[in-house]
Each structure stands twice: as C-alpha cells, then as structure tokens.
Amino acid sequence: MRKPIIAGNWKMNKTAAECRELVTALVPKVKDAKCDVVICVPFTDIALAAELTKGSNIKVGAQNVAWADSGAFTGEISAAMLAEAGAEYVVIGHSERRQYFGETDKTVNARLTQALKYGLKPILCVGEKLEEREGGMTERVCATQVEGAFEGVSAADAEKVVIAYEPVWAIGTGKTATDEQADETIGYIRSVVEKLYGKNTADGMRIQYGGSMNAKNVDGLMAKPQVDGGLIGGASLKADDFAYIVMAAK
Ligand code: PEP
C-alpha cells in the first residue's frame, strides 16, 4: 500500500505575511489528514513555513535546488541551505522550469542527485506537451524524462523520490487529464521505473497527478489505482481549497 501524498506548489506566490496567513489557516484544517501533506513554497518563505508548521503534519518543500554544493552560481540556492532552512522536499524539473528557465533532463538529473545527497526528498515532475500527446508521443516523452532524471541514481535513492506526472497542457489551464488518462500514463511511468529498478521499487514508488487538480475532480482522480496523490498549483493557494483536496486523499 502506498500512502498518498498531496503537495502544494505555490509557485511565485505568497509574501511572508501571506505565507503566515495561509499556513496558520491550513494547519488545523488538515490535522487529521490520511495522506502526507507538503507545501512547496518560495525560497523566502521556507524558514517561516517550517516554523509555522512545527509540530503539525505539514512538511515544507522548495521549488528547485542547485546542482552544486556551493560557489559561483548567482541566483541559485544550495541543498544545504534548503535543508538548514527547514525544507524536507524539493520540486525538481517542473515544466515551468523546463519551459522558461532552460531546464533539461541533464540538469534535472544533476539537481535530483544533489537533493538526494543532502537528504532532501525530490518531487520529480515529468509530462508531455499538448502537441506531444496529440502526436502519440506521451509515453516516449515521459520515459525519456524519467530515464534521464534517474541516470546514475541507485535503487535505494530512487525509492526516496516522488514522481509527479504533470501533462503540460493541464497545468494552470483548468483542463484536467481525464481520470483514465492520468491512471494510464502513471501506470506507464511505473512500468518505466520497473524496467530501471525492478518491481518492488516500482510498486512502492508514489506517483502523483498534477494539472488543474481541484475540489471537483480530486475524488475521481484519487479513485484510480495508479494515482498516489497530487501536485496542486492554483488550488493550493487557498486554505479551504487545498484542505479539501488533502482530506479527500485517503
Ligand atoms: C503545478 O504547478 O504543478 C500545477 C499542477 O499547477 P495547477 O494545479 O495550477 O495546474
């Protein structure tokens, strides 16, 4: 049995004051959650979010991590800095990073390796663009991204990773993959993990769906056997909406 995991991706939203307001409202609403609960916040909110969630069941994550220990990498944040600030998780390879900031399977692999080295739990994002789905390329794109991300990663380390299947056409668009599309593609991704690491690792790996997941569609998606939770963007920015999704994940 895989424990579901619901993670909020705040993207570039919430100042420290807004973070305080949201987290304070969220803590009591999700205290009886049956799933793991994570909020992936902007770098500047990590220490505050960690402080505000102390003693609660909410874990804090970052949205990216540098591939080097330290040094001349202006604008980057190291894994040690994230861990010290209180992050336990880190989103890696989000499609917005791939699309706007030149992230490639190689840099995703380097960041993932670095996160694992410092004990951070990666949430690895993979998924196809609309034209790739329409061109029948979904499986090939997801396989290439998964294989690239896990290059050189041991089975023991791979087991610490959560994968988020996020069809790019569904992110922030209000268009959700159907329950069947999500289930089928996640099942395929699990088969790729099985080829890399064997059945036990694949069966144990948590693979979320992400892309306009909300209070209306969470029940259908979560009812699918392959869907182990969600990575939630827009709907994670309001305490009631995010709490509803969290409480629906059993
Ligand atoms: C995301 O940012 O990973 C995401 C899935 O966003 P949204 O829920 O807004 O589509």
CB-facing half-sphere around the CA of 2: CA atoms within 13 A:
25
* Cα–Cα distance list, 146 to 193, 205, 239, 249 (Å): 8, 13, 32, 25
In the predicted structure, residue 169 carries a pLDDT above the cut 90: yes
- Domain count for the chain: 1
CA 71 to ligand 1 centroid distance, Å:
32
Q: Around Cβ 226, how many Cβ atoms within 10 Å?
A: 17
Residue range 228-240: mean pLDDT, rounded:
98
Q: Probe ligand 1: pick from 64, 89, 100, 171, max atoms within 8 Å of CB?
A: 171
Task: Answer whether 8 contacts ligand 1 (Cβ < 6 A).
Answer: no
pTM as predicted? 0.98
CA 234 to ligand 1 centroid distance, Å:
6
Question: Whose C-alpha lies nearest to ligand 1, atom 7?
Answer: 233
Which residues are designated catalytic?
Answer: 94, 166
Q: What SS3 class is residue 86?
A: coil
Residue range 190-214: mean pLDDT, rounded:
98
Q: Around Cβ 130, how many Cβ atoms within 10 Å?
A: 13
| Domain membership of residue 233 as a residue range | 5-248
**CATH number (domain holding residue 81):** 3.20.20.70
The dihedral built from the CA positions of residue 210, 138, 143 and 199, taken in this order, carries a sign that is: positive
Query: pLDDT tens digit string along 32-91?
Result: 999 999 999 999 999 999 999 999 999 999 999 999 999 999 999 999 999 999 999 999
